[in-house]
Amino acid sequence: MDKKIFQVYLAKADVPNNDAYATLDLPASPWELWDAIEKVRLKDGEELYMEIEDYYDFSCLAPHLSGLDITLMELNNLAAHLSELDELQQIGFNGLLQIAVERKRWENAGILTVQDMRDLSVSADCCHVADVTDDAQLGRFYAENDFVPEVNGLPNELFEMLDFAKLGKKMRIEEGGVYTGNDYVVQSRNLRTAPPCQKGLPQKPDYLFRLMLGLHPDIGDDRTTELDLPASEEALAAAQEQLGTLNWENTVVLNYDGILPNAAFFADLPTELEAFNEFAKAVQDIPFPEKQFPKLKALLMQFEVQDIETAMGLTEHLDDYVLTPEISSPQETAIDQLHFMTDDHSVELLISHVNLYAYGCDLIREDNAVLSPYGLLHRADYQSMLTPVQKASEANMTMR
């Protein structure tokens, strides 16, 4: 999903010493949503804090979304609808939004609701848009285009004597239109109702990796196919047959969603699709995925993996590393160590007398650990966090 509508900051609400957070562009795919929740590490009973940091091209929504009780899934659904609007429809949406706000004010009906904004997002074509900026231009536009029967057929000399500003104002007030900067928008038919959407936290998708494949735009063929990985040889062949291509020639990835959000950085898709499919099989075979998948994501990010071979190697050495998702900050590292050293009551007494940040930083440094977006990460033997390439090189030197 290339078009960004909102950027949100997600974190736990009111949890001291916790630095777990995620920054996410909306609309987000199912796995992108789940990855963000995994970074926040939200537990049962904990509340998700969400703040919109950037509205990109939809700053018109800032006054209406700020402080509104809206969930992540509702906001993502709204963003998905807005991302489908073309330039003209976006102008229409801005105008319909202004009209809806004015109507609420006239009817003393309160503020725009989440459903109101979702309805507007699927109704952006329920209006007319004219390239005029004031009443004078609007009046002339209507008069020249036969929208005012009373002036039809007037000689040019009389036509130019008309008070176009007065005429435009009259038409604008009667039809309830608005100006949106460089354009005029008037609602032309009833708004649609957006279908219901999920409000709770996202569920895990039932696939590991999903690609939407198509042909290069220069070919002028809009055929597409969806492919879930790992895939059988038959499924890969069927996808190529659907696109009419061999060895993925002239094929492009239109959309990617996967349990590893950074896969696009180390896989040249679709050129390396067969190799990536083998990697997907290795990921599928990882035991205890609930614990191992976040660790794999942390390692791929920590080592800035740039190729499938290295990524594949990490799937075989996950037990060489330890990830503690519960720890997100130096303070939590210190508190965890204090709990290991003494009883809970003593920890409560000590906390106010210890520089938790400094102590936690020392512990992280001593254990050769790093604070990843998924938790505290270190090697099982507490040795230096070498890259996989360095580790392999050292192993070869030892064998000699």
pLDDT at 388: 62
pLDDT at 400: 36
What are the tens digits of pLDDT across the range 130-151?
999 999 999 999 999 988 888 8
**Mean per-residue pLDDT, 221-245:** 94
pLDDT at 224: 94
**Mean per-residue pLDDT, 251-266:** 87
Residue 67: pLDDT over 80: yes
What are the tens digits of pLDDT across the range 276-333?
999 999 999 999 888 999 999 999 999 999 999 999 999 999 999 999 999 999 999 9
3-state secondary structure the chain: CCCCCEEEEEEECCCCCCCCEEEEEECCCHHHHHHHHHHHCCCCCCCEEEEEEECCCCHHHHHHHCCCCCCHHHHHHHHHHHHCCCHHHHHHHHHHHHHHHHHHHHCCCCCCCHHHHHHHHCCCCCEEEECCCCHHHHHHHHHHCCCCHHHCCCCHHHHCCCCHHHHHHHHHHHHCCEECCCCEEEECCCCCCCCCCCCCCCCCCCCCEEEEEEECHHHCCCCEEEEEECCCHHHHHHHHHHHCCCCCCCEEEEEEEECCCCHHHHCCCCCCHHHHHHHHHHHHCCCCHHHHHHHHHHHHHHCCCCCHHHHHHHHCCHHHEEEECCCCCHHHHHHHHHHHHCCHHHHHHHHCCCCHHHHHHHHHHHCCCEEECCEEEEECCCCCCCCHHHHHHHHHHHHC
pLDDT at 219: 87
Q: 390 falls in which pLDDT band (50, 70, 90)?
A: low
Q: 399 falls in which pLDDT band (50, 70, 90)?
A: very low
Q: 385 falls in which pLDDT band (50, 70, 90)?
A: confident
**Mean per-residue pLDDT, 189-218:** 93
Residue 387: pLDDT over 70: no
pLDDT at 181: 87
Residue 393: pLDDT over 60: no
pLDDT at 265: 76
Tell me the percentage of the chain whose pLDDT exceeds 70: 96
pTM: 0.89
pLDDT at 299: 95
